[in-house]
Structure 1
Amino acid sequence: DSNGRGFLEVGGSHTLEKFMNEAAHDVSDPEKKISVGERLRARRVLDGDADERREARERADFRIGALGSGSDYTPFLQHLGVASMNLGYGGEDGGGSYHSIYDSFDNYVRFIDPTFDYGVALSETAGRVVLRFADADTLPLSFGDFTETVGRYVREVSKLADDTREEIAEKNRRINEGTFRAVSDPTETYVAPKAEAPAPYLNFAPLQNALARLQESTKNYQAALNSTAAQERLRSRETQGQLDEVLKGVEHSMTRDAGLPRRPWFKHQIYAPGFYTGYGVKTLPGIREAVEQHNWKEADEQVTVAASTIQQVAAEIDRATALLQGGR
């Protein structure tokens, strides 16, 4: 929706993360004359926390963000399960004018991108993405970064459940000890918080087992893809077409016909805009939002749903592996 001077901003399906890194490596930043990917890494080293700095220096691919909602990709990704990406530049353009009376051509040429250099950079970036995708012998999807990212999400929701359980226990203890009442200002109206039922321990074993299968499936696929026999098979246009059909199904396998709780239109089980956060993304949304709302029954159900979804993804990757190995 907008573009300006600064740094590459990219979010999307993590099956496209490696592909996006390769494209960003070949686009030159108009101000610094280094690749836009290299400049993005430098920014994360300078502005990131300890983990972000370490990743920026050591991780083979820079990490792309997950997509929530708010743009044209929404129906493709969230409803249909089509791998999608959102691109732009910004960070040095001030911002704040979007959808306001100041959102004008005059504002753009004075403050946002006076030389239009970053409009050119965006065209070079998106152009490379489109042309490379169109010219690839097979769809340039990869699963290593995706699998690693899903592993992060699994650890995050598990930690969120532990942290939330401890927060509830601490709040209840403070209520029982009279801490809130002792500290409250007697000249102001005070409404004491109510104690909650203790949070249960959720069983994340199905999710962890599904992740382990996904990791194994990804490893097997990459080994098969790198084999001499598979590269020979992929010289055939027929085999290329068959593999493309399977690869297209991988992102779609992340959807569920029933959709998310209370939001049947949003079918993707890995990424979704938050129910209470507008465009902002929630990852493993069924689990994460249930935990945030202290809806433990739903959280337990959504662990099973997410695990089943990840198992489906692994099964689709296994289909691609079998095809590369000579099956159908």
Structure 2
Amino acid sequence: MKIGRLGGGGSDYSAFVQHIGVPSADLAFGEGYPVYHSMYDDFVWMEKFGDPLFQRHIAAASVWGLVALRLADQEFLPFNYLSYASELQKSAKDLKDKVSGMGISLIPLFKSIEELVKAATKIDNEKQAIVEAKGCASIWRKDHSRVRELNDRLMMAERAFTDRDGLSGRPWYKHLIYAPSRHNDYGSNSFPGIEDAILETKNHHTAESWHTVQHEVWRVSRAVRHAALVLNGELT
């Protein structure tokens, strides 16, 4: 089972995560198969050759069902923003190599990610404190307003990564952290607005293009900071 990033634009989740910032997942077994997107890509081929007993389909549906049950039944949404922040730190370090020698400051980005780390740690501690205080009985029944408020913060943090103006030249894509590559809809980028601006700078080498890169760094930093504020309960 593969659970990948939602950076590419070639799937149904695109409208949810990349346009309006709804937490989403894309689960799949394996990679592509020989008849993908060909005239043979139909039920007959799958029944005869691809998965004759539909065992893989049953396995995939079972996993999806278990994930859905977990999301529905857990009193706290199982969102791990510490893991999210860790991914952002890795992407920011990769970005640092790409802008080396350009005079671009990534300090705002790294600072905002540190704020996200602190906020993610804080909300995890809050969850743990509630669990320990309420014991084994249903936390929801004992303190439903507190649980709902904390879950709302977990749910809305993803939307804070969006910007109403969207990516430059691609306003439909409003998520500033993950989006398809500008030149390849199936490819994916972390910090797509910054990546696009870097490419433009390398192609044109103008002072304005350098400023555009820095501007995009500030936009992403602001979005990450907003997500941290949402997790802290300071921004709704």
TM-score range, shorter chain: 0.7 to 0.9
Equivalent residues in 2 for 1:285-304, closer than 5 Å:
285-294=192-201, 295-304=209-218
* Equivalent position of 1:264 in the other structure: 171
Q: CA RMSD in A?
A: 2.2
* Equivalent position of 1:109 in the other structure: 47
**Aligned equivalents of 2:229, 2:103: Cα separation in 1:** 29
Can you list the C-alpha shifts for 1:214-254, whole angstroms capped at 9, x where unaligned? 12222222222222577537631222222222222101111
Question: Does residue 226 of the first structure (1) align with residue 128 of the second (2)?
Answer: yes
Contact 1:225/1:231 (8 A) holds in 2? no
* Equivalent position of 2:90 in the other structure: 152
Contact 2:162/2:175 (8 A) holds in 1? yes
2:3 is aligned with what amino acid?
V
Contact 1:256/1:269 (8 A) holds in 2? yes
Greater displacement, 291-300 / 117-126: 291-300
2:76 is aligned with what amino acid?
T
2:109 is aligned with what amino acid?
L
* Equivalent position of 1:273 in the other structure: 180
Contact 1:253/1:316 (8 A) holds in 2? yes
Can you list the C-alpha shifts for 1:240-292, whole angstroms capped at 9, x where unaligned? 22222222210111101111111111110111111111122111111122112
* Equivalent position of 2:109 in the other structure: 207
* Equivalent position of 2:17 in the other structure: 77
Shift of 1:159: 1.3
Can you list the C-alpha shifts for 1:92-140, whole angstroms capped at 9, x where unaligned? xx71312211112332234322231110110111000111111121322
Shift of 1:145: 0.6
Can you list the C-alpha shifts for 1:60-95, whole angstroms capped at 9, x where unaligned? xxxxx343211211111111110001111124xx71
Contact 1:224/1:230 (8 A) holds in 2? no
Contact 1:286/1:302 (8 A) holds in 2? yes
* Secondary structure, aligned partner of 1:118: helix
**Aligned equivalents of 1:77, 1:231: Cα separation in 2:** 34
Change (3 A) 1:68 1:212: same
**Aligned equivalents of 1:130, 1:219: Cα separation in 2:** 25
User: Which of structures 1 and 2 has the bigger CA Rg?
Assistant: 1
Contact 2:6/2:26 (8 A) holds in 1? no
Greater displacement, 309-318 / 230-239: 230-239
* Equivalent position of 1:310 in the other structure: 224
Change (3 A) 1:95 1:228: closer
5+ residue gaps, structure 1: 1-7, 12-64, 166-199, 321-328
Q: TM-score, normalised by structure 2?
A: 0.86
Q: TM-score, normalised by structure 1?
A: 0.63
**Aligned equivalents of 2:216, 2:3: Cα separation in 1:** 28
Identity of aligned residues (%): 27
* Secondary structure, aligned partner of 2:98: helix
* Equivalent position of 2:233 in the other structure: 319
**Aligned equivalents of 1:247, 1:104: Cα separation in 2:** 40
5+ residue gaps, structure 2: 202-208
Q: Which has the higher contact order (CA 8 A, sep 6+)?
A: 2
**Aligned equivalents of 2:131, 2:47: Cα separation in 1:** 55
**Aligned equivalents of 1:230, 1:315: Cα separation in 2:** 25
Aligned equivalent of 2:2, options 9, 18, 27: 9
| Pairs aligned (count) | 224
